[in-house]
Structure 1
C-alpha cells in the first residue's frame, strides 16, 4: 500500500464521520471546490448514506467557472482575486442560494440545517502574489429558513506538491465541518 492510499483511507474515515455527524443533525452539505479539485466530494461519496447529506458539489477551477457559478464578471473576480475571502464568500453564498431555491420548490426535503463549504487556493505556481500552498477554506451554517447563523474563513499554508496540498486542504476542510457541527444543535 502506498502513502497516497493510506492518506485516502484516512480521508474516507474523516468523511464517514462527517456524513454520520451531519446525518444525525438532519443537515445537508453543499461543496464548492477549487483547489481541492473534487477530492472533498470524492471522499464523501465513498461513504454509504452520502446521498442523504451531500446536496451537491461543484468544481470551480478556472476564473470562467467561478464567474459562471458566482454570477460575477471575470474582471471583478480578477480585481478581487481568484484566491480571496471575497471569492470564498461568493462560492459559499451561491451554493446556499441554489440549495434554498431548490428547497422552496420541493417541500418534501426539509433538513434542519444546511452547511456550505468552499475551498480555493494555490496548488501550483504562485499566483496573485500568493505562494504555493496558500489555501482558503470557508464554511457557512444555515437554518432551514435560510438564515445564516455562522460563517468562518480560514487561511492556511500547506507544504508539498500539488497532490499533497490538495489532500491537506481536503482533510482540513472535512475537519472544519466536524468542528462546526457542534453549532448545529442550536435552536
Structure 2
C-alpha cells in the first residue's frame, strides 16, 4: 500500500489542498507528499516548528497550552494544525500536524510517543479537528517515518468523519 500516493490521489480527486505543521517528523509528512507526481496541485504549505518559540511564533500555539499539556500532547498538535490553517496565506482546507518524541526523554513521555491532529476547514471558515496519540517502536528515524505515514493514512478517514459530523449538525 503506497500511503503517500493514496493521500495525493484522495486530495486531488476532491480538489483539496493540504498544509502540514510538523515537529518530530521534521518535514517528513510534506516530503512524502511531494515525492508523489501530481502533488503540486494538493500540497499548499509545510511548517516545521521544532521549538516552542517556533510553535508559538509561526503557528500561534499558546505558551500556556505547551506548559499545561507538554509539547508532546494532543492539545499542542490541535493548535499546530489549526494555526496552520489560520495563516493568512494558507489556501489549504486540510492541515495535519505531528508533535512527539522519537528518543527517550528524562521525565518525559515514552520514546515513540506521537501526537497528531487533522483539521478541516469548511467553506464558512469553521474548523473541525480530530486528535490522536499513538506510540511507535523502532529507531529514531523509523519512528519518524512511521509517524509521517500514519498522519497521511488518516486524512481520508477524518475527512469522512467531519463530513458525517457536519451532515448531522445540519439536520
Name the structure 2 match of 1:32. Answer: 21
- The CA distance in 1 between the partners of 2:115 and 2:163, in whole Å, is 26
- For structure 2, list consecutive stretches of 5 or more residues without a partner in the other structure: none
Name the structure 2 match of 1:88. Answer: 77
After superposition, residues 104-183 of structure 1 pair within 5 angstroms as: 114-126=93-105, 129-148=108-127, 150-183=128-161
1:121–1:135 contact (8 Å) kept in structure 2: yes
Q: CA deviation at 1:127?
A: 5.3
User: Which of 102, 118, 123 does residue 89 from structure 2 map onto?
Assistant: 102
- The CA distance in 2 between the partners of 1:152 and 1:141, in whole Å, is 9
Alignment: residue pair count: 165
User: Aligned pair in 2 of structure 1 residues 71, 147: CA closer, same or farther (>3 Å)?
Assistant: closer
- The CA distance in 1 between the partners of 2:110 and 2:163, in whole Å, is 38
User: Aligned pair in 2 of structure 1 residues 79, 26: CA closer, same or farther (>3 Å)?
Assistant: same
Deviations 1:102-125 (A, max 9, x none): 37xxxxx7xxx7111000001012
Name the structure 2 match of 1:7. Answer: none
Name the structure 1 match of 2:57. Answer: 68
User: Aligned pair in 2 of structure 1 residues 183, 130: CA closer, same or farther (>3 Å)?
Assistant: closer
> Secondary structure at the residue paired with 2:71?
coil
- The CA distance in 1 between the partners of 2:7 and 2:65, in whole Å, is 34
Q: CA deviation at 1:157?
A: 0.9
Deviations 1:32-90 (A, max 9, x none): 01111111111111112212111100111122211212335656523431111221121
1:36–1:167 contact (8 Å) kept in structure 2: yes
- The CA distance in 2 between the partners of 1:90 and 1:184, in whole Å, is 18
| Normalised TM-score (structure 1) | 0.78
Q: CA deviation at 1:133?
A: 0.7
- For structure 1, list consecutive stretches of 5 or more residues without a partner in the other structure: 1-9, 104-108
